[in-house]
Amino acid sequence: MAHIIEEAKSGRAGCRTCRKPIAKGELRFGEEAENQFAEGGETSYRWHHMACAATSKSAELRATINAHTGPSIPAELMADLERLMAEADAKKPPPFPHADKAPSGRAKCQGCGETIAKGELRVVIERDIERGMTVTKGAGYLHPKCAAAYVEEHGGTHAALTEGLHANTRGLTDQELDLLFSEV
């Protein structure tokens, strides 16, 4: 997908994030949309104000800025965008697998079936959740000591698990991380 940043050619397009119009000449972010009806490679875009994209499409906007060769982005706007993208990223859950502390005592371990106690370290992985006829991706939870066996049973490797946990885990203290990796 090639998203773009350009100056709005007209004032007609509305922002897909806030629904307000984007002024002619204002920089805007175009999210490339797959148009199943267009033939001959015609591309359509969903437009966003730059600041709106920083919040609603932070990863896509960052990648597009990094590859951007069009009209220059004023330093002041860029500073605002950086701040908004960082705020948006902080609100997103980290990618799988990661570890955190169970916010409640409700989740059951996918490995041993026992409840994971509130405040206990847990490993969070992506798993398939069957709902009737459909399968969706969702979070699965594991005791650290149950994680490696479960992941290996499902086609993963211990090395990839620990590597992912190192890369994706946020907000744990050094002691908690030591405990985590002594058990995983």
**Residues lying near Zn ion in the complex (CB under 5 A):** 15, 17-18, 49, 52, 109, 111-112, 143, 146
- What Cα–Cα distance (Å) separates residue 121 from each residue in 109, 137, 142, 169? 11, 22, 9, 11
Q: Pick between residue 38 and residue 118 the one whose CB is nearest to Zn ion.
A: 118
Which token pair is 109? 């371990």
Smallest gap from residue 40 Cβ to Zn ion (A): 30
Smallest gap from residue 164 Cβ to Zn ion (A): 18
Alpha-carbon dihedral sign for residues 87, 92, 93, 97:
negative
Q: Pick between residue 17 and residue 58 the one whose CB is nearest to Zn ion.
A: 17
Give the Cα separation of 40 and 38 in Å (integer).
7
Report helix, strand and coil shares of the chain as percent, to nearest 5.
35, 25, 40
Q: Pick between residue 40 and residue 125 the one whose CB is nearest to Zn ion.
A: 125
Q: Pick between residue 38 and residue 78 the one whose CB is nearest to Zn ion.
A: 78
Q: Pick between residue 4 and residue 112 the one whose CB is nearest to Zn ion.
A: 112
Smallest gap from residue 36 Cβ to Zn ion (A): 26
Smallest gap from residue 74 Cβ to Zn ion (A): 18
**Which residue in 115, 123, 102 sits closest to 183, CA to CA?**
123
H or E element that contains 123: strand 121-131
Smallest gap from residue 124 Cβ to Zn ion (A): 13
Residue type (1 letter), 157: T
